[in-house]
Structure 1
Amino acid sequence: MLRLFACRFRRFRRRSPDAYLALPLHDLLTDDADWDEPAWTMEPKGLAELAVTLGWLHGQLPQGFEFFAAWPPDDIDTTVDVSIDELVALVRESRIGTRSRYWVAAPATR
């Protein structure tokens, strides 16, 4: 789930996001994916496409975004501040936490 907030500073954000974007990640899971494991196991082809999508979205969103891949109604246990490069690396290496939320900071001004 990708949640979008209008304010780039977390302490000033409203509790509810301004928009949601649900990406169909279930089809990317391998047959041995287990929600009790620390990270999801996903198909390499799907991970490459997800990494490209997240990189593109980062360039389009001046406020940054929040990303998590959870199986409802699982609770999110951890929030991690990451750069877009760190998130893309986690995705490409199939290390997306099963109960982690990733906050990606806004792109640097050019």
Structure 2
Amino acid sequence: MICITDVNCKKHYLHKDAIARVNEAGPNWHRISAYVKLFDGGTIEACERAAEIHAQIERTQPAEPAKAPSFDDWFKERNSGLSFDEAHMGDGVLIDKSMKELSRHMRDYVTELVNAKP
């Protein structure tokens, strides 16, 4: 939520998604520094400058979530740069015991993803 003070000194707490547009007003005419247009059709004549309102909106943006590594990248990191295929293929055919290994590695990979800190 962001806080905008109108020219009558009333505070308005708004979700960033309620704001359609913020326009800078002229040279502080009647204490109006910005016009805040809302998606519900309303307008707030704000004491804050448009740049200040924009900064508040930017601070409410969630942090970019960390991207999980692909299984191949995860496997290579733990196996001296070898891919799963390079580590478990013989003559172009998946070695029988490799299916059990794949299952074990996938369990480890998924467990790490689930337990990763955001």
Calculate the TM-score normalised by the size of structure 2.
0.26
Decide which structure has greater helix share.
Answer: 2
Determine which structure has greater relative contact order: mean sequence separation of CA pairs < 8 Å that are 6+ residues apart, divided by chain length.
1
Decide which structure has greater strand share.
Answer: 2
Calculate the TM-score normalised by the size of structure 1.
0.27
Instruction: Please say which structure displays the higher CA radius of gyration.
Output: 2
